[in-house]
Amino acid sequence: MKLTYTLGAVLAGLAMAAPGPAAAVYPDKPITLIIGFAPGGPTDAIGRVLFKTVSQKLGTPIVIENRAGAGGNVGSQDLIRAKPDGYTLLYGTSSITSAAALYGRQDLNPKTAFAVAGCSVSVPLILLASNKVGIDNAPAFYAAMKASPDKYFMGSSGPGAIDHLVAMDVAKRLDVKFHHVPYKGNGPALTDVVAGTTNFMYSGSFNSAIPFIKSGQVKALGVTSSKRSQSLPNVPTLSESVPGLQGYDAGTWQVLLAPKGTPTAILDKLNGAVQSALQDPEVMASMRFQGAEPMDKNLAQCQQYIDAEYERWSGIVERLGLKAR
Average pLDDT over residues 138-149: 97
The CA distance from 97 to 144, in Å, is 32
- Which stretches does DSSP call E strand in the chain? 31-35, 62-66, 88-93, 114-123, 126-130, 153-156, 179-182, 200-203, 218-223, 252-259, 293-294
pLDDT at 14 over 70: no
Average pLDDT, the chain: 90
Dump pLDDT digits (tens) for 144-202: 999 999 999 999 988 888 999 999 999 999 999 999 999 888 889 999 999 999 999 99
Average pLDDT score over residue span 47-58: 97
pLDDT of residue 109 exceeding 80: yes
Task: Tell me the angle at which helices 162-174 and 299-320 cross, rounded to the nearest 10 degrees.
Answer: 70
| Alpha-carbon span 67 to 196, nearest angstrom | 33
Domains defined for the chain, CATH in brackets: 29-123+252-320 (3.40.190.150), 126-241 (3.40.190.10)
Residue of 238, 240, 236, 219 lying closest to 228 (CA atoms) = 236
* Edge-first strand listing for the sheet containing 153-156: 179-182, 153-156, 200-203, 126-130, 218-223
Residue 316 has pLDDT above 50, yes or no: yes
